[in-house]
Amino acid sequence: MKILKNKELQSQVLKYIFISFFGYSFVFISLYILVDILKTNKSIAFMIVYGVLYLMLYTIQLRLLFKTSHSYSKLIKFCLSLVFFYFLANVLYNTFNYFEINYLISTFITVLILTPLRFIISKFYVYK
């Protein structure tokens, strides 16, 4: 229970939620534009948008969230987590699509599953 009373951790969780909100707003708006307006394949659009989001996250989380400095080991760990979560996000998303769940709902469910996992991995592995 001590970890739940940690003010720094609480602050980081709130910032992470805020960053995630804007990041996933980008995801939903971009997916809508690519899929519904530009008629891009749903899976290709998801891979592109999610890939762009992950590329932006390293710097944002490094400087704004965890307030740490860049190092090659952090970058390598971030890249490893990026590959893992990119793969996992695509598997989850395409699994939901296989069951004919709307692409935006599929994205939302994927986000709900992965967001807490990404915070934990980032906090205790990548930026440690």
Q: Using one digit for the tens of pLDDT, what is the confidence trace for 61-73? A: 988 999 999 999 9
pTM above 0.95, yes or no: no
Which contacts qualify for 56-62: CB closer than 8 Å, 24 or more apart? 56/23, 57/19, 57/23, 58/82, 60/19, 61/19, 61/122, 61/126, 61/127, 62/127
Cβ distance 93 to 27 under 8 Å? no
> Distance (Å, rounded) from C-alpha 5 to C-alpha 51?
34
Domain ranges (residues) in the chain = 2-126
Q: What percent of the chain has pLDDT over 90?
A: 72
Residue 3 pLDDT class (50, 70, 90 cuts):
low
Cβ distance 85 to 114 under 8 Å? yes
Please give the average per-residue pLDDT across 57-82, as a whole number: 91
Please give the average per-residue pLDDT across 82-86, as a whole number: 91
- Given a cut of 70, is residue 4 above it in pLDDT? no
Residue 14 pLDDT class (50, 70, 90 cuts):
very high
Predicted local distance difference test score (pLDDT) of residue 118: 92
